[in-house]
Structure 1
């Protein structure tokens, strides 16, 4: 789990550095053509943010998988037991995990399922939103470059 936090923190630092680059575009002496640079830096910031959030969730799921079958009181998975009342965990048979989308579900003998952690929902949406924003910024940077080239060709 410590590795996951470290990777997530490193990516978050990358996102902050890219955000500083985006803010630097407002200062005098910015590089030209500035729209392409601004969109490129915004794309880098969004990509680093997506990787940061996703890696945090990925290592949370991985940690829950590693805790399963790892010593005493590890079956069923501790993630399915910790923080839940006895009525919720009654009849627990197994778990299902997924890395894309992030989830760690606990399955009862009657077929009902409950999530071991409510954070996976926002992690999935946040990483997807940031990744889509990064892609849109990249497309926008390419469009800004092409638009500038067309204007130069007309002049």
Structure 2
């Protein structure tokens, strides 16, 4: 768990450093042309943020998976039992985990499923949104650079 928090914290620091680069574009002395630089820096910020959120969820699923079968009262998985009332846990047969998308589902004998943690939904959504934003910003930066090069070629 400590490694997971460390990786997530490192990614969060990377996102903050990249965000500082985005903010620096507002000050005098920014590189010209400024639009592609701004988009590249914003893409880096979004990519680091996606990595931070995803690594937090990845290590949460990994920790839940590693707690299963380790010691007394570890079957069923503690993530499926801890914090739930007796009616919810009744008839629990096994669990399913996934790293893409992030999830740790608990399965009952009748086939019904409940999530061990509702936080996986926002982690999946946030990491996907940040990753998509990073990709679109990187494509936009490349397009802006190409457009500028074509315009200068036409003028020459």
The TM-score normalised by the length of structure 1 is: 0.99
Q: Take 1:27 and 1:144, find their aligned partners in 2: how far apart are those partners?
A: 21
Q: Take 1:32 and 1:4, find their aligned partners in 2: how far apart are those partners?
A: 39
Please name the residue that 1:9 is paired with: 9
1:62-92 deviation digits (Å, cap 9, x = unpaired): 0000000000000000000000000000000
Please name the residue that 1:58 is paired with: 58
What SS does structure 1 have at the residue aligned with 2:105?
strand
Runs of 4+ in 1 over 2 A off after TM superposition: none
Count matched residues: 155
TM superposition shift of 1:54? 0.2
Q: Take 2:32 and 2:4, find their aligned partners in 1: how far apart are those partners?
A: 38
What SS does structure 2 have at the residue aligned with 1:29?
coil
> Residues 60-139 of structure 1 correspond to what in structure 2 (within 5 A)?
60-139=60-139
1:115-153 deviation digits (Å, cap 9, x = unpaired): 000000000000000000000000000011011101111
Please name the residue that 1:28 is paired with: 28
What SS does structure 2 have at the residue aligned with 1:27?
coil
Q: Take 1:138 and 1:40, find their aligned partners in 2: how far apart are those partners?
A: 6
TM superposition shift of 1:109? 0.5
Please name the residue that 2:142 is paired with: 142
TM superposition shift of 1:47? 0.2
What SS does structure 2 have at the residue aligned with 1:140?
helix
Please name the residue that 1:41 is paired with: 41
Please name the residue that 1:153 is paired with: 153
Q: Which runs of 5+ in 1 are unaligned?
A: none
